[in-house]
Structures are given as C-alpha cells and as structure tokens.
Chain A
C-alpha cells in the first residue's frame, strides 16, 4: 500500500508535473486572432528575466529545495528527470508572464515594470510556500483582469457608445501609445486556463521531491500550534518513541 502511494507520487512528479508545465509553456504564448487563426508568441526576453526572478523566489520561499531535487544522492535518471521538471517550470513561468503581458506598446512596458518591481521587492520579503503561492495567484490574477478583461473590453471593436467613449479617452490619455492588438475572446479563455493550470502545477510541486504529501500537511498544521501545544506534541512523540 505504502509502495503504491510512493509510486503514484513519483508518477505525478516525473510525468504529470512536467506535462502540466509544458502545457502552460505551449498555451502561454498562444493567441487567437479575430479571424480565428492561431498565433504562437515565443517568450520575450523580459519574461525570461521575470521567470529567473521568480525561480529565485521559489528557492528563497522554499517552494523548491534545490539540493533535495538535484544532487549526488540521486541517480543519473532521477537527476535528469528532476532537471527537466525544473526547466519546464522555468519556461512555464516565462510563458505565464507572456500570457498576461500586453504584446506591445506602452502597456507592455508598464506591465513589465509592475511585474519586475513586485518580483524585485519580493526578493527581500520573508516567504513560505503557501504565502508565495497566494502572492503569485494575486499577481497573475490582477494582470489577467487588467489585460484580458479591462484592456480587451476597452479596445474591442463595436459595443456601446459609453465603452467606445471610454476607449477613446483611454487612448487619448496615453497619447495613442496603447496599441492593443485585436484578439478573439478565445484568447482570454486560453489565458485563464493557462494560469489556472500553472497555479495547479505550482501547488503540486513538493519542496522535497520524495516527501510524502501528508508530511507537508502535518508540518503546516504543526506550524499553527502555540508553544504549549508544540511542547505537548513533542512530549507525546517522544513518549511514543520510547
């Protein structure tokens, strides 16, 4: 039974997780034009920089313990498999940013600055994996709403006169530098699915690859105990051991 659980965990880590991240990498750059044609945008250089900063946050926030994932205590096959998973995570991060980053114009640089500023500040904050996940959820969620709901709504052709007026005012305020490319509504749905998949993938990442899932839950619960309860727990464990 225990061996079955270990096998399932390994399967999810070495097969499911890279495939989830690679799907994010595939869909993150996908756009659908108004004439229903696909366009695949490779990650711009700025998103690679963001992904590198995010990778550093993953290490600092202990979402990934690098020495537990890679090292001489594993065999070659395991190291290769883990390295591929981490590379897939890096490109998924880059493409998740690509998915919510406007393609061109002033907004592209505004969003990029907003992301870089947030990621840079986060480098100096104390994080645990759960807080980091929550923070990333908020970051991507905000960018998604801004790009795929507000900006797409304002730049969409047709619609009510108030919407067109708001779009014109917005364009005028930015001195015509917004330059939002027209995309089909399907692009927003693809982006939503991509981000959801990315967050699910991150939730599946274990800081230590071989650690059973229950241990993480127990550790989380234990971190919420007060000093007296912790002492009682420690005593109970020692009693059981003796």
Chain B
C-alpha cells in the first residue's frame, strides 16, 4: 500500500486529537491553567504541593479550619487528591459543627468535598490514619455530614447538647 506510514500517522494523530477535544468538552476547563492541570492529572503527573499540605494540616490541628481549607485548596488546585479533599470536608464539618445547631451551608460544602474524595477513590473506601480525627473514613464523614443536615424531632432533644464533635 502506498504511503501506509502517512495513513497510520494520520489515524493516530486524528484519534489522539479527537480524544483531547472530547476530554476538553467533558472536563470544561475555565482557564489555560485548568487545561494544563487537567492534562497533568490525566497523565498521572499531578502532585499536591506537600509544603502547603503540611501547613494546612498544622492549621487544621490548631483549629484554624478556614485558613486550613484555603491552604489545602492551594495545595490541590485541581481537586484531584482524595486525601486533601477528605481533609477539606473534615474542616467544613468541624467549622460547621455547633453544640446547639449545625451550619447547613458549611455542611453542604463539606458534602461536596467528601463526594469528590469518594469519587477519587473508586477502588475502595478512603482511610485516613490521623489520631486527631474521630472519623477515619470518607464514608463515615459523609454519613455524619448528611445526618447533620437532616431535620427531625430529635433536633429538639435537649440531650443533644451533650453530643461530642468528632
């Protein structure tokens, strides 16, 4: 066959380019930075900024949840690291937890983050070994966040004030 190499090159280039276009339309990057980050994630070359991650973790342990979330967002701008998203969700939970009532808006954002963490761990449940935490899996955290957003007669139980933050 004449020019078989040219045809093979054309087919490969077309399929690769078409795949990239489908990926762009599926992921909807909003900036060039999103495009490069997404490409790094797809290629498996994406890494969380470990220095920012550690800073965020120390802020979290000191109770500065909002600051910790900000650092984690900067450490994982592509929102592609399950562990970081778990901690972000946990920070939402702890900030939104109240002895008398829970902040629905923060719990809602926490649910979104924990859903991202779960989506990033399709092989199994995510387990985080941190002695400071009382919930170590994303599934537990999700259940707690969902429970906090539910409305029931149990919310009027005065014994609720004795509940502990996890």
Q: Is the CB of A77 within 8 A of B17?
A: no
Known: A7-B6, A10-B3, A42-B25. A22 touches B14 (CB 8 A): yes
Identify B10's interface contact among A6, A18, A25, A29, CB under 8 A. A18
Q: Is the CB of A81 within 8 A of B10?
A: yes
Q: Mark A171-208, 1 if CB is under 8 A from B, else 0.
A: 00000000000000000000000000000000000000
A48 at the B interface (CB under 8 A): no
Known: A22-B21, A40-B24, A40-B25. A75 touches B1 (CB 8 A): yes
Q: Mark A10-31, 1 if CB is under 8 A from B, else 0.
A: 1100110011001001100100
Q: Is the CB of A84 within 8 A of B11?
A: yes
Q: Is the CB of B30 within 8 A of A78?
A: no
Known: A19-B14, A38-B30. A14 touches B6 (CB 8 A): yes
Minimal beta-carbon separation of A72 from chain B (angstroms): 14
Within 8 A of B (CB), among A32-88: 36-40, 42, 75, 77-78, 80-81, 84-85, 88
Known: A40-B24, A88-B18. 9 other contacts (CB 8 A): A11-B3, A11-B6, A22-B18, A22-B21, A37-B30, A38-B28, A38-B29, A77-B7, A84-B10
B152 at the A interface (CB under 8 A): no
Residues of B within 8 A of A75 (CB): 1, 4
Minimal beta-carbon separation of A127 from chain B (angstroms): 28
Residues of A within 8 A of B17 (CB): 18-19, 22
- A42 and B23 CA atoms in complex are apart in Å by 12
Q: Is the CB of B6 within 8 A of A15?
A: yes
Interface size class of B (residues with CB under 8 A): 20 to 34
Q: Is the CB of B13 within 8 A of A7?
A: no
Identify B14's interface contact among A7, A77, A84, CB under 8 A. A84
Within 8 A of A (CB), among B12-71: 13-15, 17-18, 21, 24-25, 28-31
Q: Is the CB of A7 within 8 A of B31?
A: no
Residues of A within 8 A of B24 (CB): 26, 40
Residues of A within 8 A of B13 (CB): 15, 18-19
Q: Is the CB of A77 within 8 A of B25?
A: no
Q: Is the CB of B30 within 8 A of A81?
A: no
Q: Is the CB of B14 within 8 A of A78?
A: no
Within 8 A of A (CB), among B133-149: none
Q: Is the CB of B18 within 8 A of A14?
A: no
B162 at the A interface (CB under 8 A): no
Q: Is the CB of A18 within 8 A of B14?
A: yes
